[in-house]
Structure formats: structure tokens, C-alpha cells
Structure 1
């Protein structure tokens, strides 16, 4: 998971000193009751270095529970590395999302113009939107029409943003067991319990501490539930997914789900059960055409479905092969919102996302996207 201290870079450096309301310290891992609002800070939260252990090293590991409906205890799965040791050494050094020249030019512009103050004001307003309290956990589903559209990247960016700004627990669920890349993008080192495993484990009487023992711990009070251990042929049925989501929803303020590509069954279930939906599409003519056709189909569903959907157009090469303004206008004509995630060298290189290496424009785009999606989720109960 990315380092939250680098999330907004220089722009938020002054904001991080904003005191909490009433001078109280943030409360971590607080689980709300059915009608209780989750805690919300008064300003942009400050982070303590080393507050949480590295991903995958859970301090609380529960004993193997009895399987649901089984007569004997379920054996605990062994941990498996996300990346093989032989491949881990093959990764090149990660590069910054924008060139040194671009960063220097932007710095000079900020000094000689008044745009910096406006930008800080805008980020402050966005932070206030992201920190609104919720009475029940919000579920956000991220999917795409085809592979390679950047849905796992978008999921990771949304999860990092919510974990940075909010003080209630955040959950990222990988509902795509087919060798998904979400754990790698989040920086998880090992995987143990999966969505299918937890479906047979969770019980209503469990506490938040019990539940998180089966999850991969990430920085900033965030948690990951993997879809598989990287094995080919792993399956996840819709009933198991529904059982997990219904059981875990009350523990987490925001849950972001990395779904299978449409029209997979679990993806359809996730989209219908979520309060907001994100549809990732590459900035190509093929991607735009497929996405437009799906949005036209969604117009035939209950109105809240299309109105609660945000299309994220991901630029995966420096120069898109389509006119993004014209394409976005066409997609908006269906009633869905559209956001552009600009090309970023760091994101394009793959591997673990480190927010300190993201381009400034990427950080701003991810934050605004997270605020848009969260606002939509608040409208649907």
C-alpha cells in the first residue's frame, strides 16, 4: 500500500498540521453500530510513521475456525508470497510519474502565480467531502469491460485515498480470483486467507479484531481481502461473495471491490449491491466503444444505476489515440459521470504503487475521483 505521508506531496504539507476537532487524537479501527455514525476528522489527518506493521504481517492471527456447516475444524491455509523471490529481483527501480523537468517547471509556475492558493483551497474542499461520516458502510464496485483497462490500479488509488483521508477502517476486496494484480499494486507481501475462505468463517458475533485477523493489514487503517493466492483456476461464486460482503459491511466505513470484468456473475452482483460503481476503460477507440455500449445498456436498468456510475478513462500511453474531450462528452450523454486518469510513468511501469512517486496531476485526479464516487455512494442507501 502506498505511503500516505506522500499522498498529496507539497500541496498538503501545510494542511497536515490541522488539529483535530476538540484536540482529540484520531481513533483507529473503530467499528460502528447499525445506526452509529463513523468518526470523521475535522481536518486532513496526520499520520504517525510506522503506525501499522508492513502489509501481510498481521499481529493478530486467529486459530482456524470451524467451517460453516462442517463437522470438523477447517485447516488454516499456508501463506504464499505475492511475487516469487526469483522474479522480485528482476524488477527495475521505480521511476517518478513525471519527469524532473516537468516537476521543476510546475514548481516555478506555482511560485510566480496564485494557482497554489486556489489548489490548496480546492484540495481542502475535496478533503471535507471525503471525510463525511457514514451511518452504514459504503460499498464501491470497480469493474471494466475487458482486461488491461486499469481497474485494479483504480481500485488501489481509491483505497489509498480513502485510507488517507478517513479515520474509519477501509477494506479493499479482490472479487477477481483469476490471478488479479490488486495485492501486488497495494504492496502486499504474502497472502493467506481468501474471499472464498472468509465466506465460510465470518459470523455475526465476531469483533473487528477477529475479522481483521483474516485480512492483510495495510497502512492507514486499511485492509485487503485477496481473491486467491495466485493459483490458476481459483473460483469465487456469487453466494460466497454476497455472504462475505453482507457480513463485513458493518465493520468498515468504505469498501472498494475490485471485480471481475463484465459480464461475469460476481461482477453483476457487486454492481447491483454497491452504492456507487466505477467503470474503468482504456483511452482507446475500442475501449470507448465497448464502454459506451455498456452504458447504453445500463440506461435500461433502474435510473440510480447509471446515475451512480463514474467512468474512469485511463491513459496508458503518453498520447491517447482518441480525442479525450469528445469521447468523454459522448460517454456523459448516457448520464454517467466521466473522469480522466492521466498517463503516469510510475503507474505504467506496474508493480507496487507508491504515492510519493505519482505525478502531481495523477494525485489530484485520483483524489477528485474518490470524492466524486464517495458523494454518489452517499446518495444511495
Structure 2
């Protein structure tokens, strides 16, 4: 259709439209249309199996399942009640509260239980303990009997003490006498001893279950007790007893002493709290050092036995320090009126302090059992 001349005239008469030119921020043209210039990853074709998954984490070693709990004992599966206190004010409170307030054992009772556990360490073979001193009157036989009684009362195996004193030993007087037989009778009949009941006919037993094999009461006869005799005696006893204690004489040159020292697994040296007693015990260690028993001295146990009430004039700290430098351990046994009597010994009649000291001594001896790590203080 031909354009109307009137319209063309009107368009010419209108003013020209104003064109907007952006300035400033808009002139920078910071905005871009994503559709006009898409990112490259938008245009990548989709894989036929979907979008790729992220890479798996680094492979680790397969974790093994924990092993099954094999211990199905009552102690392992059931919560054990707290042990009732056995002594002191804790026990009184426990009983007064009709057993409702149970504070458990106190530190002293726990210490005692730990020592008993040490004493009860098992033995697979016979363990031999030699008790000796150069000086008489220091309580060597008494310590042999009380140490043996403490070991026997806490252990379930058999413990025997042998009197090897050539000068009419008194070890058999520390337990009720059940037989007049001596070590000589045992050696005479050794060929016929095939069972424990056979040996039992030659020993006497105390309330603690400690057995004693007596020596001859005639010094002229007992002097003939030689190293060979002592070795034969041990050959018989070690078949039936786990612990053999030997009460040695005061003479280190006695004929049986060589076999005693050669067979001993542990050495207990006795000293009194006096100056001459300490010097004699130290001289005993000097003699052993000079005759090739250095290892025995280093592993020995020194016992300072108070055979009479302490006067306080001797500095016991210096005595203990002297033996601490030479022996594996040093124990002090306090004076006890029951031991001063010199008669049969009953552990129940001892003062609590004495029983505790003997238990400490027995635990130190047990530290030297095979398998236990016995160390010198500071070693």
C-alpha cells in the first residue's frame, strides 16, 4: 500500500528520540549473560551412565574384628563386691552400720595383702635358703624358725627347716617335738624313703605347718656331719619340699658349710643391733667375698634382729646403710617378748609389728624366686 503523504509529514515534524548512553558503573559492562557465554563445563555432553562420581578415598588395610573374649570366668563376667575391711576403724564402722557402709581395706591392710601375694609366688622346684652368722646369740635359729613359719603359714606347699648346727642346735625346740628322730636317722634310712609319708616320720611340725629336721643332740656325733651328708640330705628333702631353710652353725669352716653355700639359692645373714653383732655380720660378708661368693653377697639379705630392747645408743641408720651398700635388702625385726622366751614359737603370740616385719622378710626372700626380678635397692 502506498504510504500516506500525511503520515510522512507528521513523522518529519516529530523531534528525534534521545539515545541513552550508560556512564560510570554501568559503562564498565561487568554483567554478562551466562547464556551468551556459558562456561565450558556446561557444554560438556552428559556421559551415558550419568555424572562421574568423586574418586573413592585412599584404600586402607581391612580392620580385623576384635578377638572374642575368651575368659568366661565368674571373676571376669560379674562385678565383684568391694572386699569388707578386716581391721581398724573401717571394720568397726562396717559392723556398726550393719554392713551398709563399706569403705574397703585401708592402706595397711592393702600393703599386707600385697606382701602375702608376693610370699605366695609359685615355685616349680626346690628353693634353698641358708641362714648364718659368725656370732652366736644374735637370734639366728629364731629367725630361721620364724621365717620358715611365716612362709609355711601363707603358702600351700611344704616348708622344712634343717638344723645343720654342729654344736647341739636348738632348732627342734622351736616347734612341738613329735619324734626323737634326727637327720642321722633320715640318712641311715634314706634308701627306704620313697614317699612324703616316709619323710614325715623324721620331722616335727608346728602350728604354722613348718616342719623341722633336728640335728644330733650329742656334739661329738653331729661334728661328723659332712658336706656329703648334707648333700644327701638335700637330695632326699628336695623331692618332697618346695622350700628348705638351713640353720647353719657359727663356724664358716665347718665341714658341711662348703655344701651349704654351694647349694644355697639365697643367703640370709643375721646381725644383732649391737656393735659387735654388726661387726660379726659384716665379717661374715667379708669372708664370703674373699672365698669367691661375691654374687651371693650381692644377692644376700641382712636381718638386724633385736634380741633385746633397744637402748638407743647405737645409730641404727648407719648400720642399715652399711648393709644396704653390700646386700640386696636389709630388714629389721623388732624385739618381741615371746621370742625372748626361747621356747616353742607361735606366730599368733607375736606382736603385730613383729609379724609385719617377718612378712616383709618373707616377701623379700620370695623376690628372689626363679622368675621374680630381684634387684638391689637403687640398682
Give the structure-1-normalised TM-score.
0.66
2:314 match: secondary structure: coil
Query: Cα 1:365–1:244, aligned 2, differ >3 Å: closer, same or farther?
Result: same
Which structure's relative contact order is higher, taking Cα pairs within 8 Å and 6+ residues apart? 1
Q: 2:202 aligns with which of 183, 199, 214?
A: 214
Q: 2:332 aligns with which of 337, 340, 343?
A: 340
Q: 2:357 aligns with which of 338, 355, 365?
A: 365
1:255 match: secondary structure: strand
Cα shift at 1:232? 4.2
Query: Cα 1:312–1:379, aligned 2, differ >3 Å: closer, same or farther?
Result: farther
Structure 2: state its 5+ residue gaps.
1-72, 76-86, 94-102, 373-379
Corresponding residue for residue 151 of structure 2: 162
2:220 match: secondary structure: coil
Cα shift at 1:293? 2.5
Native 8 Å contact 2:302 2:327 kept in 1: no
Corresponding residue for residue 36 of structure 2: none
Give the distance between the partners of 1:166 and 1:109, measured in 2 at CA. Answer: 27
Find runs of 4+ consecutive structure 1 residues off by over 4 angstroms. 106-112
Which is higher, the Rg of structure 1 or of structure 2?
Answer: 2
Query: Cα 1:108–1:319, aligned 2, differ >3 Å: closer, same or farther?
Result: farther
Q: 1:247 aligns with which of 220, 236, 255?
A: 236
Query: Cα 1:143–1:108, aligned 2, differ >3 Å: closer, same or farther?
Result: same
1:322 correspondence with 2:314: yes
Cα shift at 1:347? 1.1
Q: How does 1:18-57 map to 2 (within 5 A)?
A: none
Give the distance between the partners of 1:226 and 1:22, measured in 2 at CA. Answer: 46
Give the distance between the partners of 1:364 and 1:205, measured in 2 at CA. Answer: 37
Corresponding residue for residue 306 of structure 1: 297
CA RMSD of aligned residues (A): 2.9
Cα shift at 1:352? 1.4
Corresponding residue for residue 174 of structure 1: 163
Cα shift at 1:268? 3.8
Cα shift at 1:296? 3.1
1:281 correspondence with 2:268: no
Native 8 Å contact 1:260 1:266 kept in 2: no
Give the distance between the partners of 1:262 and 1:218, measured in 2 at CA. Answer: 28
Give the distance between the partners of 1:205 and 1:352, measured in 2 at CA. Answer: 28
Corresponding residue for residue 231 of structure 1: 218
Give the total of aligned pairs: 275
Query: Cα 1:115–1:257, aligned 2, differ >3 Å: closer, same or farther?
Result: farther
Of the structure 1 ranges 134-143 and 176-185, higher mean CA displacement relative to structure 2 is found in 176-185
Cα shift at 1:273? 0.9
Give the distance between the partners of 1:275 and 1:313, measured in 2 at CA. Answer: 21
State the Cα deviation string for residues 287-344 of structure 1 (Å, max 9, x = none).
1112123223433534431133111111122114411111110122123421111111
Q: 1:200 aligns with which of 181, 188, 194?
A: 188
Cα shift at 1:107? 6.5
State the Cα deviation string for residues 137-180 of structure 1 (Å, max 9, x = none).
11111111111110110011111111111111111111114222
2:215 match: secondary structure: coil
Native 8 Å contact 2:164 2:248 kept in 1: yes
Native 8 Å contact 2:123 2:369 kept in 1: no
Structure 1: state its 5+ residue gaps.
1-20, 24-105
Corresponding residue for residue 323 of structure 2: 331
Query: Cα 1:115–1:324, aligned 2, differ >3 Å: closer, same or farther?
Result: farther
Give the distance between the partners of 1:352 and 1:220, measured in 2 at CA. Answer: 12
